[in-house]
Amino acid sequence: MQFNEIKEKDNKYLFQNYGRLEVAFDHGKGMYLYDVDGKEYMDLVAGIAVNSLGHSHPKWVAAMQEQVARLCHVSNLYHIKEQAIAAEKIASVTPGDLNRVLFVNSGAEANEAALKLAVRSTGRKKVLSALNGFHGRTAAALGATGQPKYQQTFEPLIAQSFQYFDYNDIEGLKALMDKDVAAVLLEPLQGEGGVNPGNPEFFKTVRDICTDNGSLMIVDEVQTGMGRTGKWFGIDNFGVVPDIISMAKALGSGMPIGAIATTDELYGTLSPGTHGTTFGGNPLVTASASVTIDIMKEERLVENSYEMGAYWRDEISKIESDEIVDIRGLGLITGIEMRTKANDFRKYCLENGVLVNVCHGNTVRLIPPLIIGKQHCDVLIGLLRNFLE
Ligand SMILES: Cc1ncc(COP(=O)(O)O)c(C=O)c1O
């Protein structure tokens, strides 16, 4: 099908709730995507931090083909072998003793589950989260998302349980803390909010304050998890162990899956009947999570994320231009804040066969597959130099 035909059907039959770029893809391989007209693009977006193995990784494809042919869905009425295996693999990479796993279908749902667990296990009503954060579009996740632009017109659906403080501001958090706070929910690095890394001291203090106050510390690793920041989880950069981690995106290499991990002490409050989902953790998506973790370990993708991220930011920092305001990031999530030209740069990259993303107005966000090599990083650096000249 030609691009124009796809666009026509899209305009006629789909909700128009996304601002889509003028391209539709047919297939992918490794670092590259190919559009319906056969043009090649180097992918530095990875489906918004999802395709960490690159596209169509042969081992992942084989595992999915085998699983689809054998068993795709049975529901949580029964024990699920693939779910149990995936939970054990997740527990092998989570920090501390976060070795109890619940599967859901997305990042927002993972945060919903984390919030329900926190409220139920503490018996408290309030949740504190950071301004400029992003936790998803469902009702409670949207409530936790301290950005009015996402909440506007949906207020009737949002619980009044949330209060917000400035990210990395310990005094702001302390001012809101009381014995009714069930949890503090934070991203280790604000992704959608413009690639703002957390401050290690701030996170250590949040841990102490939560412990002293009997509140839970929930870390949203939907975007930062699974090696994206050069450690298995973003919070590992700060040497802090939270009470609950939510994850999704790269966990399933494109299969829709989310999960939370917590401790043996906490998981029990979500007893039978208190929470659940039909699809959550079905054999196909959990087989995907397992093979994803296996490949990440075999190919040392977490280490590669650390090394390539450091290389990239070093090289980008050498570019002298008034247009670049700041370069931030951890591992393979990098933000290049520009004065005015982030969207022009995205367009320039697209024309030159490279996909980059822009978030929070004027920040170019680089979130490539974790298989990226120096040669790919150098292509982007060359484009950035040319663009700025
Ligand atoms: C930190 C964070 N939390 C939650 C979400 C929501 O995840 P999903 O879109 O899978 O619901 C996102 C999505 O971008 C995210 O970046």
What separation in angstroms does the CA of 149 have from each of 155, 161, 272, 357, 358?
11, 18, 36, 19, 17
Pocket test for ligand 1, best of 223, 245, 279, 365 (most atoms within 8 A of CB): 223
Ligand 1 centre distance from Cα of residue 165 (Å): 20
> Does the active-site annotation cover 249?
yes
* Active-site residue flag, 318: no
pLDDT score of 340: 97
Ligand 1 center from residue 192 Cα (angstroms) = 9
Per residue in 26-75, pLDDT (tens digit) is 999 999 999 999 999 999 999 999 999 999 999 999 999 999 999 999 99
**How does pLDDT run across 139-149, given as a tens digit for each residue?**
999 999 999 99
Please give the distance, rounded to the nearest whole angstrom, from the Cα atom of residue 378 to the centre of ligand 1.
29
Structure tokens at 41: 């693009």
User: Are the C-beta atoms of 176 and 210 separated by less than 8 Å?
Assistant: no
- Walk me through the domains of the chain, giving residue ranges and CATH numbers: 3-57+300-388 (3.90.1150.10), 71-298 (3.40.640.10)
Answer whether 256's CB lies under 8 Å from 106's CB: yes
Instruction: Give residue-wise pLDDT tens across range 99-133.
Output: 999 999 999 999 999 999 999 999 999 999 999 99
> Considering 43, 220, 236, 243, which one is annotated as catalytic?
220
- Rounded to 5 degrees, what are φ and ψ at 45? -115, -35
Mean pLDDT of 223-228: 98
Residue 159's pLDDT is 85
- 243 in helix, strand or coil? coil
